[in-house]
Chain A
Amino acid sequence: MKKLHILSRILIGIASLTIIIAYFFPVWRIDLFAPQYPEGLVIKIWLNNITGDVDVVNGLNHYIGMKKISVEMFPEFSFLIYIVALFICYGLTIAFTGSRKLLFSYLVVSAIGGVAALYDFYLWGYDYGHNLNPDAPIKVPGMGYQPPVIGHKQLLNFDAYSMPDVGGYIVIVAVVVAGIIWIVEKRLDKNEILFRLINFAPVNFMQQQTTTH
Chain B
Amino acid sequence: MKSNLIKAAVVLCAAVFIQSCKPQGPAKAISGDAAAKAYVAPGKYDEFYNFVSGGFSGQMSVYGLPSGRLFRVIPVFSVDPEKGWGYSEETKPMLNTSHGFVPWDDLHHIALSETDGIHDGRWAFANGNNTPRIARVDLKTFRTAEIIEIPNSGGNHSSPFITENSEYVIAGTRFSIPMDNTNGDVAINTYKENFRGTVSFIGVDKTTGNMNLSFQVLLPGVNFDLARAGKGKSHGWFFVSCYNSERANTLLEVNASQKDKDFIMAVNWKKAEEYIKAGKGEKRTVAYAHNVYSDKTHSATSTMEKEVMVLDPKDCPDMVYFMPCPKSPHGCDTDPSGEYIVGSGKLAAIIPVFSFTKIQKAIADKNYDGDYQGIPVLKYDAVLHGEVKKPGLGPLHTEFDADGNAYTSFFVSSEVVKWKLSDLTVLDRAATFYSVGHLCVPGGPTKKPWGKYLIAYNKITKDRYLPTGPELAQSAQLFDISGDKMKLILDFPTIGEPHYAEAIPADLLSKNSTKIFRLEENTHPYACKGEKDAKVERKGNEVHVYMSSIRSHFVPDNIEGVKLGDVVYFHVTNLEQDWDVPHGFAVKGANNAELLIMPGETQTLAWRPDRTGVFPMYCTDFCSALHQEMQGYIRVSPSGSAVPITFSTGTNKPAAETPAQ
* B partners with A: yes
- Which residues of A line the B interface, CB within 8 A? 39, 53, 55-56, 59-60, 63, 137-138
CB-CB under 8 A from B625, the residues of chain A are: 63, 138
Q: Which of B550, B579, B626, B629 contacts A59 (CB 8 A)?
A: B550
Residue of A nearest to B576 (CB): A59
Q: Verify B577–A56 contact, CB threshold 8 A.
A: yes
Residue of A nearest to B626 (CB): A137
Interface residues of B in 526-583 (CB under 8 A from A): 550-552, 576-579
CB-CB under 8 A from A56, the residues of chain B are: 577-578
The CA of A56 and the CA of B581, in the complex, are separated in Å by 11
The CA of A163 and the CA of B625, in the complex, are separated in Å by 30
CB-CB under 8 A from B626, the residues of chain A are: 63, 137
- Other contacts beyond A55-B577, A59-B576, A137-B552: 4, CB < 8 A: A56-B577, A56-B578, A59-B550, A137-B629
In the assembled complex, the CB of A105 is this many whole angstroms from the nearest CB of chain B, namely: 47
In the assembled complex, the CB of B408 is this many whole angstroms from the nearest CB of chain A, namely: 44
Category for how many chain B residues contact A: 10 to 19
In the assembled complex, the CB of B521 is this many whole angstroms from the nearest CB of chain A, namely: 15
9 A-B pairs with least C-beta separation:
A56-B578, A55-B577, A137-B626, A59-B551, A59-B550, A56-B577, A59-B578, A59-B576, A63-B626
In the assembled complex, the CB of B287 is this many whole angstroms from the nearest CB of chain A, namely: 47
CB-CB under 8 A from A53, the residues of chain B are: 578
In the assembled complex, the CB of A60 is this many whole angstroms from the nearest CB of chain B, namely: 8
The CA of A55 and the CA of B575, in the complex, are separated in Å by 10
In the assembled complex, the CB of A114 is this many whole angstroms from the nearest CB of chain B, namely: 34
The CA of A63 and the CA of B626, in the complex, are separated in Å by 9
CB-CB under 8 A from B577, the residues of chain A are: 55-56
The CA of A56 and the CA of B624, in the complex, are separated in Å by 13
CB-CB under 8 A from B578, the residues of chain A are: 53, 55-56, 59
Residue of B nearest to A56 (CB): B578
In the assembled complex, the CB of B40 is this many whole angstroms from the nearest CB of chain A, namely: 18
CB-CB under 8 A from B552, the residues of chain A are: 137
Interface residues of B in 598-628 (CB under 8 A from A): 624-626
In the assembled complex, the CB of A61 is this many whole angstroms from the nearest CB of chain B, namely: 11
Residue of A nearest to B515 (CB): A39
The CA of A56 and the CA of B552, in the complex, are separated in Å by 13
In the assembled complex, the CB of A55 is this many whole angstroms from the nearest CB of chain B, namely: 5
Can you list 11 pairs linking A and B with CB atoms under 8 Å apart?
A39-B579, A55-B577, A55-B578, A59-B550, A59-B551, A59-B576, A60-B551, A63-B624, A63-B625, A137-B552, A137-B626
Residue of A nearest to B629 (CB): A137
The CA of A59 and the CA of B577, in the complex, are separated in Å by 10
The CA of A59 and the CA of B578, in the complex, are separated in Å by 9
CB-CB under 8 A from B579, the residues of chain A are: 39
The CA of A3 and the CA of B576, in the complex, are separated in Å by 60
In the assembled complex, the CB of B621 is this many whole angstroms from the nearest CB of chain A, namely: 14
Residue of B nearest to A41 (CB): B578
Residue of A nearest to B624 (CB): A63
The CA of A55 and the CA of B530, in the complex, are separated in Å by 12
Residue of B nearest to A157 (CB): B625
CB-CB under 8 A from B629, the residues of chain A are: 137
**Interface code B629-641, partner A: CB below 8 Å = 1, 0 otherwise?**
1000000000000
